[in-house]
Amino acid sequence: MRQYADTYQHKGLRKQLVEILKGRGITSQEVLDAINNIPRHFFLDSAFDKIAYEDRAFPIGEGQTISQPYTVAFQTQLLEVKRNDKVLEIGTGSIYQTTVLAEMGAKVFTIERQKKLYDQHKNYYFKSKYLNIKFFYGDGFEGLPTYAPFDKVLITAAAPFIPPKLIAQLKPGGMMVLPVDEGDQQRMLRITKLPDGNLLEESFHNFSFVPMLTGKN
Ligand code: SAH
């Protein structure tokens, strides 16, 4: 049975991580607070306990990774998450990014296409703390038409293009943040659906993600 302990050492390392993120340009206090409050080492194999607060991605099984803290912070900041926002997340993975959104008070709908990773939510440590998360097994390209429209959409895998069904499921005034393929890396984009339905596209720097794939596995 896995033991979960959030020690003073972990908390200290987390504070250092927050300082690193500030140094890299993360200014949203809500995002920094969420990262400071969530024990990232709970989302990793215990073998990573001592290095969980390095600003790095780590393997989570099934060839997937938990995103780098800077990437989580950058995407979350761009998404301008407000309490009670309805957020659709594509790529549950380790549930870490999901937890950041939930800690910020969003109502999170998260989709994972890998059954083994999806099934991990049954043992989610914070199951009874964050009742504002709903887990789905499916293909994120399809979104969740039953629960649409959403205030925000966050894609945490490398999208080959901007998924049209996800744009359709965005509220007018809503925003989608996603990494879109550009050579070997991905360009971070923020798409705002303006009240008249037109799209505003903003482009940021490049990141590196695992691919967004179609279908289920
Ligand atoms: N947010 C996660 C990132 C995991 S990596 C975390 O912080 O841990 C990206 C995840 O997206 C992987 O788990 C991968 O299986 C999933 N994924 C890729 N394509 C997908 C799709 N079409 N629909 C849903 N999930 C997808």
Does the active-site annotation cover 67?
yes
* Nearest-angstrom CA–CA distance, 34 and 44: 17
Residue spans per domain, the chain:
8-207
CA distances in angstroms from 101 to 81, 116, 171, 176, 184, listed in the order given? 7, 22, 18, 14, 28
Fold of the CATH domain 8-207? Rossmann fold (3.40.50)
Mean pLDDT value of segment 105-122: 98
Q: What is the DSSP letter of 158?
A: B
40 CB within 6 A, ligand 1: no
Per-residue pLDDT at 90: 98
Residue nearest to atom 17 of ligand 1 (CA): 91
121 CB within 6 A, ligand 1: no
Confidence band of 211 (pLDDT split at 50, 70, 90): very high
Residue nearest to atom 4 of ligand 1 (CA): 93
Per-residue pLDDT at 3: 83
Mean pLDDT value of segment 69-76: 98
